[in-house]
Structure 1
């Protein structure tokens, strides 16, 4: 608010990959050489290609096979997803405790979004995963503002600050990163349970369904509307809209192990 906050920038390797992928002449071998500059990113892509989103009889064993399997657009999104966690400096153990708690909720929400996208169609799973994660980048930006350990807020105060500032901070950060406007729209509408932009199931619907289930899984007593009251729910057709006894989609409960497997690739 004092104009002194340093908003995070994307890592150089991420910018290089995004720039390269914007070139229509980019080839898989050239992208392999670029990604190979970062062994950690290479390992992440290998791990991701073997997770529950990509069920193949033959598991890819080389980076070339991984990129061929995922496709260039997916490589771009996965690179962005795994860049986010490294952007926010943790200044102390107190920072880390709050960050781990927040990150765990975000990866659960993002993984649920990806699995719902795979099961319901309409949206690419990695597109849903990235949108879900980016929708709360502002909550991480709020935490990064507390550089002095003596100023670390309590969990209660931190969440109050997030409710007040995270959306506006998130929009500022995403505009700085020059991401698609669609992701900025998701930030603005995440948690708007009554939003109904069209009759078709869209990206924001998947994010809001995932947010509902992530909150409910972590805190069954949380104050939430009934699932059947969500605008996104009414776009689901039987049997995809069957609701369990505890008020969650049976579809989500049946694939919770897969959701947690995806989440493990983001930790």
Structure 2
């Protein structure tokens, strides 16, 4: 067995052990649970909610930045957390809170782990931003819901890293992505069940990357996630081994002019709005 195979076998054992004991996987922060619980209370006031959110300065800053982003096109930029809650609405605040919590859970501090995390997080945020923008272009009612679905669809890729948080040596980039291919979906499902996240997102994980998946003849959330994944892979590697865009079940549901294919077998509408997609990603970094 060569060195790469030996290394993979060792890392695979660590991930397998992690899957057998989900208590080792990270739980959502207490402040996140408190905020989500308050968001679901019919009696909560904006003042009480903004006071709770202000206990997490990083989350407060992210919500302010997101509420002022070009994606939302607010006529009056928010100046206080209560303004943010009014601009975003409670459902969007809930989703941005989840995004912030996920990033904080998996941020690791050793140079090797941090490098892998930053690369993975940047890819996931850009993919999710593509999904949200595509959702808006096709008339999907909740672009931020599409953003979260896309992000959670690869939650397991971040969870793979958590298996090595006590290991002084991070896996190589090649081994990390190989482990993601083998374990990302399973770990993602385990985590979402542990966090009691909507069952809809678990179904998204299971069908992400299934280019031929089709349940209905109109565009669904999984179609937006798969289209954004396809373009994310293209963005990372123009020569990636992918089917032609026109062969995807999700593509077949796009109507003209949304289905025009441009350079590099990508949707022309995403090519022409690339700057806006990157702007949205910047608002959530």
**Structure 1 residue ranges, 4+ long, deviating more than 6 angstroms after superposition:** none
TM-score by length of 2: 0.90
Aligned to 1:162: 180
Aligned to 1:259: 277
Aligned to 2:78: 60
Residues 107 and 114 in structure 2, CA contact (< 8 A), matched pair in contact too: no
**16-25 or 189-198, larger mean C-alpha shift:** 16-25
Structure 2 spans left out of the alignment, 5+ residues: 1-15
Q: Secondary structure at the match of 2:249?
A: coil
Q: Is 1:238 paired with 2:256?
A: yes
Residues 74 and 87 in structure 2, CA contact (< 8 A), matched pair in contact too: no
Q: Is 1:30 paired with 2:41?
A: no
Structure 1 spans left out of the alignment, 5+ residues: none
Partner Cα separation in structure 2 for residue 148 and residue 87 of structure 1: 14
Deviations 1:93-138 (A, max 9, x none): 0001111111111011010011111111234011011111111111
Aligned to 2:147: 129
Partner Cα separation in structure 1 for residue 266 and residue 169 of structure 2: 38
2:114 to 92, 96, 99: 96
Residues 26, 148 of structure 1: alpha-carbon distance in 2 compared, 3 angstrom cutoff: closer
Q: How does 1:215-230 map to 2 (within 5 A)?
A: 215-230=233-248
Count of aligned positions: 267
Residues 139 and 162 in structure 1, CA contact (< 8 A), matched pair in contact too: yes
Residues 27, 199 of structure 1: alpha-carbon distance in 2 compared, 3 angstrom cutoff: farther
Aligned to 2:136: 118
Aligned to 2:3: none
